[in-house]
Amino acid sequence: MYKNLDPLLHSPLRLAIVSHLMTHTKSSFKELKQNTSASAGNISVQLKKLEEANYLRIEKSFLDNYPLTQVSLTKKGIKAFEAYVEALKNILFKNLLL
């Protein structure tokens, strides 16, 4: 029953990051840090995992001579999140029927 849950999204911090990005087209690293209350190092590790899976895109630039990292979901990331939510709904529905 739980095999349909994407293990990449089942991590609380990765799920929080992707959930935030579902409602924000682009988000800065700083915004993600504030939104999740996670450490910069932990967010960096989780972003790298999501990027390697092609769930999100990371863009690095400068704004007023300061580094700016912006993150956005890819189509694959959006589909993975939607499938994850659908799998959760199915699990909840089946449990309600028991």
pLDDT tens, residue by residue, 78-93: 999 999 999 999 888 8
Indicate the class that CATH gives domain 2-89: mainly alpha
Residue 70 has φ and ψ, to the nearest 5°, of: -120, 145
For the record, the structure tokens of 56 come out as 């999100």
The model carries a pTM of 0.90
Q: Is the pLDDT reported for residue 73 higher than 90?
A: yes
Q: Is the pLDDT reported for residue 98 higher than 70?
A: no
For the record, the structure tokens of 16 come out as 């929080």
Q: pLDDT tens digits for 34-64? A: 999 999 999 999 999 999 999 999 999 999 9
Burial 54-63 (b: 16+ CB within 10 A, else e): ebbeeeeeee
Amino acid in position 80: A
Q: Is the pLDDT reported for residue 94 higher than 70?
A: yes
Q: Are 58 and 28 in contact (CB under 8 A)?
A: no
CA distances from 68 to 11, 16, 22, 31, 71 (A): 25, 21, 20, 11, 10
